[in-house]
Amino acid sequence: MTSPAIRQASAARRFAFRDDVFDAVTSNNGLISVRGSAAFLAEMRRALKPGGRLLLAHRMFDPASRSFQLGRIYGFHQSLERNGMRLLLAAAGFRDATIDAVAEAPWADNPAQPFPVAGDIQQFVMVEAWK
């Protein structure tokens, strides 16, 4: 018998969940949507059971890109490249992190959205780490 799925809205930097409650936590582009990547990752780790799995679908950019520089202004640039992401994960207490690219594509112009910058190549990655 499987457990029912939990559906609960919660702030990303302060989860409405107890410690050590989930086998796995996931996010799809959450680190780009939330200021405070370190706090977000720390909350994800806190909510994981010992040995729990973090899985992120995420986008990364070359540090020389305009999108990366804009991310620096917004304060989430560390998560936009592999070394910075590894440092964030380690600081949050995650171990055995892997970052695997699955695709890449240029970002199309969207005047209503300042990030990413049109023409920059975004790399779609899967990030996996363990508590």
Which residue, 95, 94, 115, is CA-closest to 34? 115
Integer Cα distance of 97 and 87 in angstroms: 10
Q: Which stretches of 1-131 are DSSP H helices?
A: 30-33, 37-47, 66-74, 82-91
The tens digit of pLDDT for each residue in 59-113 reads 999 999 999 999 999 888 999 999 999 999 999 999 999 999 999 999 998 888 8
pTM of the model: 0.86
Greatest pairwise CA separation for the chain in angstroms: 50
**Which residue bears the tokens 């086998």?**
23
